[in-house]
Structure formats: C-alpha cells, structure tokens
Structure 1
Amino acid sequence: MTDVVDPSVAERSEAEALFSFETEAPEAVRTALGMSAARIGGGVVLSMREDVTHYWSKALGFGVTAPVTAESIGEVCAFYRAQRTPQATFQIAPAFLPKEWAEVCEREGIVPASSWVKLACPTDEAVARADALGMSPARIQVAPVEADRAAEWGSVMMRAFGMPVERYAEMGAATATRPGWHPFAAWLDGEIVGTGTLHVHGGTAQMFAGAVLPHARKRGGQTALLAARARVAQELGCRLLIAETGAESGAGTAGTHNSSLHNMLRLGFQVAYERRNWSWQPRR
C-alpha cells in the first residue's frame, strides 16, 4: 500500500536519521569501530568496518533524488571494498529497484536477506489513538532523557537490541543531547528499562531505537514510548510519523510474532510496503 506514504518521503526520513546517528558519533567511537560514510547516487552509504553485529554498514535512501542505476550500485560496492567493509546491507524501496536489479546483484555479489516493513501514520491520528487507549503501563513511566542519564540510556538501547555495549552505547548516548533528536526512556522502579528516540527532518518524524529490556516487556512500555514520541512530533508540527520493523512470517511458517509491529498498528500506523534487505560481501 504505497499510497499510505510516498516512498521518497519514507526512505529519506530513515536515511537521514541513520546518517546522523552514525556520522555524528564521538570521534573516538568512529575510530575504534572503523566508521566512514559517503553520499553516493542520491543515497547515504555507511560503513562500520569493526562492527561485530554486521548491522550498521548500510546503504539506503536511494531512488529519492536520482534513479538507482548499475553504476551507482557499483560505486557503493567500490566504496565498501575501499573501506574493507566485511559485510553491508542495501535497503532500497521496491518501487525504486531498477528492472535490471537481478543482473546488478549477480555482478556485484548481492543476495537477498530478511525483509522489513515500512510504516507510516498521520501524527494526529497516533496521538488521538494513544489518548483513546488511555494507557497506564504497569509501573512503567516514560519521560525525556536528561543529559546525566544519557550514558545509561545508550547502554540500555544496545542491550535491548542484543548488541554489545562497549563503544556502541556511546554512539547511542551521543544523540541524547544532539539537536534534531528527542530521546525518551521507559523507567521501572527507578531503572531505565526501555529507549526510544525521534529524529525530525523536513517536517517528518522518524521513530528510532524503540526497545525494552526483556525483564520489563509486556507491560505497555513500548507503546507508551511510541505515544510519547508522537506527542512531541505533534508539538513540533510534524504531520507524519515514519517507522520500520521486521516483517512477520506468514501463517503456517516457523515465523515470529513481532510485538513492535502490532504496537504500532494499534496506534494507527499502516504498512506502506515490505522492503527486502540485500546483503553484500566482498566477492562471495
């Protein structure tokens, strides 16, 4: 249902948020993790050479200002080879994939991987639904992150996503006091147990890094984090919320129930389209 949102708007929102998140990390973190970035063919290209999770090296935002071509993809792959990136992911909206995509993948060593769904929601609708639900999470409280708790917040962000804390937490914590970002924490008995931040770009609000630690889940914390960020987006005059999460497997498969997806659907988000992740490695 690409009529839910223009793919150009949705792709640019995510790309600019991730570009800011990585390129504005502290210099010591960027050096230790081997981080570099470029803008190629209208998209953003991010490399983290020492990333043990193989998550943060991504090329995305393509097709917005220029068509995706074999030449631009080749240039991105050349950038990754020059940076000695061990693995990277291309994220391109299906509407922007060129007709010769299969040939491009064959030549560059790109293979299909998991799928994500892109979601969008009018900000006013998300706020109205949150108010109607009258959420009162069990002992969970959600509030903006103060600067003196940024380090703890960054650590929880990475732990909630199952990622290493050293260096990675500093990357997340750095956004807590950065212009354009609006971080929130979920609290349980004085402990930060969940994170969620909002990146604003061109009147669009991008949901980012929403997660709760395992022992504090199923208490409504993630939905409360979504609602708090939607209200801030409304105050800032953003008319549209954008988010991404993993796609669920269909019935009868060994798939998963994605609680993040269902929480967003409850607040009025709609699936705009499913987007395949494409994995690249130096000559496979």
Structure 2
Amino acid sequence: MLFADYALAQRLERTEAQTNAACVEARARLQPAVGATWREVAGAYALFDGPESPLTQTFGLGMFGAVGAAELTELEAFFAAQAAPVAHEICPLGDEALPPRLAARGYQPVEYTNVLYRALEADYAPAAASNPLLRTRRIGAGEEGRWAQTAAGWSTEMPGLEAFMLDFGQITAHSAGAEPFLAELRGQPVAAGGLFIFDGVALLAGASTVPAARRQGAQLALLDARLHHAAARGCTVAMMGARPGSQSQRNAEKQGFRVAYTRTKWLRAR
C-alpha cells in the first residue's frame, strides 16, 4: 500500500512545483519579454509566468519549512515586484498554522483541487482499447504546435481563451521534463495529454478532448498510455489534479487513482 501521508505529500507537491518551474523557465527562454521568473522561499516555489497565468502563485508552501511573517512578506514582495496577484496553493498535510495566518493577512480561499495518486508497478500493462479506431502516441520533435492546437481545442467553447490556451500549450510542450501525448481518431488528433516525470513521480496534466470527439474513449486511452509510458521509465508513483467531482476525477478513479488530499488556493485581495 502507498499511503497518503506527509512523506507522499511532499513528493507530490515537489513534483508539481518542479513541473511548473520548468514551464516558467521555458517561458523565460521562448518569450523573454514576459519576464517570467521563479525563486524558492521556505522550501516553496514562487512562480511568475505573467499576471494572468495559472502558474503565477506558490507551490509547496508550508511543506518544506517554517512559514512565518517574514517568509510571507518576502513572497508578497516577490509578486508585488512583478505587479502580480499573490496566491498560495496549500496542502492540508502541511503547516496547520498557515491557513489562519493567511486569513489574518487578507487572503481568502478561492479554489479547490483534489490531488490524486496511485502506485505504478514496473509491469503495468495498458487495458484493451475500448475504441479500436483510437491510437495514442508520444509526439515527436517538431509536433509541439500540433499538440498545443489539440490541447486548446476545447477553448473554442469559451471565446477569448483560444489564443491564451494555444500559447500556454506551446510553452508546456517545450518545457524540460515534458512528454506530451496525442490521441488520434482515424489519423486525426482529437485529444491531448501532458506528462512530466521528476524523481520517479509521473505528473499527468493538461488532458483535453476536442468537442466533436468526446465520449469516444480518448481520455481513458490517453491516461492508460501515459501510465504505461511512465512505468516503463521507472516511475513508481503517478499523480494528477482534478476539480472535485469532475469527469477528470472519475476517469482517474477508474484507473486506480485515489484522492490523497484536497488543496486550497488562497488569494490575497488587492
């Protein structure tokens, strides 16, 4: 059994922090005008990827070191220097004194994420395909744009997000540690999923299906393919985040994932 204890939470939180720091470094390399940067404070990673990016926040705060007034002031100064909002995503297995300390400084909880995990065995075998017309594969060099376009396919349902999601997908696909996957239906890309590997932990992220190809098994096929690839690469743990009660969570639970904990995102009112 792999228990959802403090030691596991540290591994999961550090993996996500490293993944997102790699994305920030890719942004700094590919789009230097954004001024993307990150730093470590009290063991947490403070990331700036642009004022509107979901990566602009801290990860792992309260999991790797004491967090008092001095550390919070340092973090707030980091984001203030970038003219960015201040947000911290907090694991409940960390410093119990941190949430009331954040509340006292004007932060409010604004978002919840279930962090799910499962053990990975070296002989993990993918299940039989539910749709024989689907093919999953890791993208090759030069296909980052194609992957990003597929990953942003759902954004057509939310006007105004297309350009942002396409840009964000390009950055993600070019990040260190990224191993993007595509699902193709009759040879056409219909779904995309991200995979990042750090220190034996596989983070599954960025899963999306274009609206016209939903309910045909693409997401489960992508999930299975990435787990198989991660196991072959020596990973012993897989993780992913999902909105509580979402279809993504249900898909993960069908593949043996369990909820490790629910993270809370705290945002400081300007």
Q: Structure 1 length as normaliser, TM-score? A: 0.83
The SS at the match of 1:185 is strand
Q: Percent identity, please.
A: 23
Which amino acid in structure 1 is aligned with residue 31 of structure 2? V
Q: Does structure 2 conserve the Cα–Cα contact (< 8 Å) formed by 1:4 and 1:270?
A: no
Partners of 1:113 and 1:181 lie apart in 2 by 28
> Match of 1:49, as an amino acid?
G
With over 3 angstroms needed to count, the CA separation of the structure-2 counterparts of 1:125 and 1:93, relative to structure 1, is: farther
CA RMSD of aligned residues (A): 2.5
Residue of structure 2 aligned with 1:7, choices 9, 13, 27: 9
1:19 maps to which of 18, 21, 29: 21
Alignment of 1:72-221 (within 5 A): 72-85=71-84, 87-99=85-97, 101-107=99-105, 109-124=106-121, 127-128=124-125, 130-131=126-127, 134-137=128-131, 139-160=133-154, 164-166=161-163, 168-176=165-173, 179-221=176-218
Q: CA deviation at 1:4?
A: 2.8
Runs (5+) with no aligned partner, structure 2: none
Amino acid at match of 2:81: A
Tell me the SS of whatever aligns to 1:22.
Answer: helix
Number of equivalenced pairs? 264
Aligned partners of 1:126, 1:220: CA distance in 2, in Å?
Answer: 23
Give the gaps of 5 or more residues in structure 1.
249-257
Indicate which of 246, 259, 267 corresponds to 2:255.
Answer: 267
Q: What's the CA shift string for 1:112-131, capped at 9, x where partnerless?
A: 11211111101129935x42
Is 1:125–1:268's contact at 8 Å kept on the other side of the alignment? Answer: no
> Which residue does the alignment assign to 1:36?
37
Deviation at 1:166, TM superposition (A): 3.6
Residue deviations 1:136-157, cap 9 Å, x none?
Answer: 3363321111223211211222
Secondary structure in 2 matching 1:94: coil
1:194 and 1:210 in contact (8 A); partners too: yes
- Read off the aligned partner of 1:91 and give its amino acid letter: E
Q: Deviations over 1:228-252 (max 9, x none)?
A: 111111111111101111112xxxx
Per-residue Cα deviation, 1:254-284 (whole angstroms, up to 9, x for no partner)? xxxx1110110011001111111112243xx
CA pair 281-46 structure 1, distance change in 2 beyond 3 A: farther
Conserved 8 A contact 1:145-1:183? yes
Match of 1:233 among 230, 233, 242: 230
Q: Secondary structure at the match of 1:24?
A: helix
In structure 2, relative to structure 1, the CA distance for the partners of 1:175 and 1:126 (3 Å cut) is: farther
Distance 2:18 2:49 in 1: 17
With the length of structure 2 as denominator, give the TM-score of the two structures: 0.87
Runs of 4+ in 1 over 4 A off after TM superposition: none
3-state SS, counterpart of residue 210 of structure 1: strand
The separation in 2 between residues aligned to 1:260 and 1:58, in whole angstroms, is 23
- Check conservation: 1:68, 1:96, Cα contact below 8 A: no
Q: Tell me: CA distance 1:28–1:150, structure 2 relative to 1, closer, same or farther (3 Å).
A: closer
**Is contact 1:68–1:98 with CA below 8 Å preserved after alignment?**
no
Contact 1:198 1:229 in 2 (8 A): yes
Counterpart contact for 1:138–1:220, Cα < 8 Å: no
Conserved? CA contact 1:22–1:171, under 8 Å: no
